[in-house]
Amino acid sequence: MKRTQSVECHSRSPESEIQTSRWQPIGPIVSLLLLAPFISEVLYGAVRISTIFILIPEVLTWGCGALLIRECVRRWRTPWQSMLIMGLALGIAEEWLIQQTSISPLVVPGQHAYGRVGGVNWVYFLWALGFESVWVVLIPVQLTELLFPAQREQLWLHRRGFVIVSTAFALGACIAWYGWTQRARVKIFHMLPYSPPPFYILIGVGAIVLLILGAHSLPSGQPRRIRADLHAAPRPWVVGLVLGAMGFVWAIFFLLGWGTGFLPTVPVGIALAGGLGWAILAFCLVWRWISSFDWGDTHRFALVLGGVVAWMLGGFVVFKVAGALRSDWIGKGVLNAVAAIWLFSLWPLGGRRT
């Protein structure tokens, strides 16, 4: 009887292993689909309790977009800079082609046109590129891979899954385009319909293609060799504090780009130069720290924690200046508190070093 059972178990094992291998990536896939819009939109306050219904198309655009970018980079075996470049391409797709918020007149109190030159909202566009490449792509992907370390280097989507997610992203893009450009702008904010010049669309498509080709062309990452002459990374709390402070500044930079009257006397050129310089400084710091011989999961988690907490705090400043319903204040406070408690409870994740 025991021998029969063992034979049956042995005969079933290959099938069960195949089923396990097929379903194993479901955890990180679902996590990234939810974390990308939740971190970038809900915790910040762009998606509020009063407008939580728009989270569904956000999952299709931000979630699927982040997942597709992560899968492309893992297939190409390119470094993290490739994921950043792909995040910039996603930002252009969203801001230039889908919702067109960087080229259409902004929906703002008082109808300010701060930073709008040549039909482009340059300050807002700069802010959006940083927001979408970092808080939509880099941080959610990093957190998901920390939550599922055994599958960090694996592909989560096979060919069929890649096609399904791509289709879902296209569907979400259509919903987002229609919901914002044809409904919200016209019906809610009473703005005139906007049709971007075809030349602008071609510029956006061309920029996306060039960024994707650039991301693909980066050399494959090579394992770091521990050498005595290489520099050491700062302590994890320093990484989290410094990058968190820089992320907080970027979070409230939205107020200037949105044109609500926040620091209205700052010349546009100075705002653009300052924002671009701030982004380059953050990029250089991260690049130097990641190249350290002792950079590990503790530092990665500190980077995620600092970025998310800074993003949440910056959202409160935006609420204060731009205004929000009382229910939205309460909802954001509760969700931010729960998210912070959960993230701090995960700190032992950083104990694993690669």
Render pLDDT for 183-229 as a digit per residue (tens, 0 to 9).
888 888 888 888 899 999 999 999 999 999 999 999 976 555 444 45
pLDDT at residue 314 greater than cutoff 60: yes
Segments making up each domain of the chain, as ranges: 25-219+229-351
Q: Which is more confident, 221 or 96?
A: 96
Over residues 223-243, the mean pLDDT reads 78
What per-residue confidence (pLDDT) applies to 228? 45
Yes or no: say if 162 and 50 are a contact pair by the CB < 8 Å rule.
no
Mean pLDDT across the chain, nearest whole number? 87
Q: What pTM was estimated for this model as a whole?
A: 0.88
8 pLDDT tier (thresholds 50, 70, 90): very low
pLDDT at residue 83 greater than cutoff 70: yes
Q: Which is more confident, 106 or 177?
A: 177
* Angstrom distance (rounded) from CA 86 to CA 158: 20
What per-residue confidence (pLDDT) applies to 349? 65
Q: Which is more confident, 5 or 80?
A: 80
Most confident of 102-111, 285-294, 344-353: 285-294
pLDDT at residue 267 greater than cutoff 50: yes
Buried b (16+ CB within 10 A) or exposed e, 4-21: eeeeeeeeeeeeeeeeee
Q: For the purposes of burial, counting CB atoms within 10 Å of the CB of 99, is it exposed (0-12), middle (13-18) or buried (19 or more)?
A: buried
Instruction: Fill in the amino acid letter for 221.
Output: G
What per-residue confidence (pLDDT) applies to 185? 86
What per-residue confidence (pLDDT) applies to 149? 92
pLDDT digits (tens, 9 = 90+) for 277-300: 999 999 999 999 999 999 999 999
CA atoms within 13 A on the CB side of 302: 23
pLDDT digits (tens, 9 = 90+) for 107-133: 765 555 678 888 999 999 999 999 999
